[in-house]
Structure 1
Amino acid sequence: MSKVLSIPSATSAEATAHFAARLRHETDVSDVHADLEARVPGLFVVDSRSLEAWQQGHLPGALHLPTGEVAARAAELIPADTVVVTYCWGPGCNGATRAALEFAKLGYQVKEMIGGYEYWVREGLPVRTGDDLIRRPADDLTAVSLGIVCGC
């Protein structure tokens, strides 16, 4: 008996709805990097981690707003007609999900950056630490080597 087929797959219509919904709620580090590099207007990337984590390193162009402060400070920092992308440590952390929920409750359009800070770093993308901009070598388990994009 097949493990994969032991539960019937979704219909095409169900799968279309499911995957479209995921893409409305999530984005990935590569797409966020491209949009930050292009300076896409109306997009705010929010690091929802602690001050100590932020100081350890963060995405260039990100705004630091810990999850616990979103409800009180979002309106003063982020225009209501923008899209917010939240991130936290990585796939083992639900901090970005919690922050996204807080923004959604305030009426913002919001997406969560899957992979978080961990995958940003593992893909060899630039990280701001104080006044320095650093890059670690890309992990070939998460990014194509030699700086070539995956093409997905």
Structure 2
Amino acid sequence: MSSVLLFPPADPQESVAYLQHKLSYYTDAWDLAKDLAQGVNAIVVVDARSTDVYQAGHITGAISFPHRTMNADSTAQLDRSKVYITYCDGIGCNGSTKAAWKLASLGFQVKELIGGLDFWKRDGHPLTWGTSPGEWPQVAPGAHCGC
């Protein structure tokens, strides 16, 4: 008996619903990089780590907003029409989950970045150092994801 087929796959319609639901919670580095490169302004990338760690290297375009400081008062200036993409160091860290949970609890639309800064770096996307979000660099024509 097949170990894979021990539990049969869902029917295609159930799979579509499940996978669409799953994708509503997450984005990956390639999709985020594409949107940032195209200047999509409907999203805000949030580095949920401490400000010191943010200054030591962060996703270009990300704002520093440590999850430990998020509350109704500190989020009052945020634009509720935006979707907030949270990230932290990577899969061994739950700072992005805590940030997404806090923001969602306060009524904001959120997604988490799969793999956080670790996967971002692995894919070779731009980083910025210091207190500024930084400017997105010009990307060579034809650069794209292999998936």
Residue 149 (structure 1) shift = 2.6
Cα deviation code 1:100-129 (max 9, x no counterpart): 111111111111111110011111111111
Q: Does 1:149 align with 2:144?
A: yes
Q: What's 2:15 paired with?
A: 15
Q: Partners in 1 of 2:145 and 2:42 — Cα distance?
A: 26
| 1:1-152 aligned within 5 A | 1-71=1-71, 72-76=73-77, 78-130=78-130, 148-152=143-147
Q: Partners in 1 of 2:19 and 2:110 — Cα distance?
A: 17
Residue 8 (structure 1) shift = 1.9
Residue 151 (structure 1) shift = 4.0
Residue 52 (structure 1) shift = 2.5
Instruction: Calculate the aligned-residue CA RMSD, in Å.
Output: 2.0
State the AA in 1 paired with 2:76.
A
Q: Partners in 2 of 1:67 and 1:131 — Cα distance?
A: 17
Larger helix fraction of residues: 1
Unaligned stretches of 5+ in structure 2?
135-141
Runs of 4+ in 1 over 4 A off after TM superposition: none
Seen in structure 2, the aligned counterparts of structure 1 residues 22 and 75 have a Cα distance that, compared at 3 Å, is: same
Residue 5 (structure 1) shift = 0.9
Residue 43 (structure 1) shift = 1.2
Aligned residue pairs, count: 138
Higher RCO (CA < 8 A, seq sep 6+): 2
Seen in structure 2, the aligned counterparts of structure 1 residues 131 and 92 have a Cα distance that, compared at 3 Å, is: closer
State the AA in 2 paired with 1:75.
A
Query: TM-score with structure 1 length normalisation?
Result: 0.82
**Percent identity for Structure 1 against Structure 2:** 42
State the AA in 1 paired with 2:51.
L
Q: Partners in 2 of 1:83 and 1:75 — Cα distance?
A: 15
Q: Partners in 1 of 2:2 and 2:92 — Cα distance?
A: 29
Q: Partners in 1 of 2:51 and 2:41 — Cα distance?
A: 26
User: Secondary structure in 1 aligned to 2:7?
Assistant: coil
User: Secondary structure in 1 aligned to 2:110?
Assistant: strand
Query: TM-score with structure 2 length normalisation?
Result: 0.85
Unaligned stretches of 5+ in structure 1?
134-146
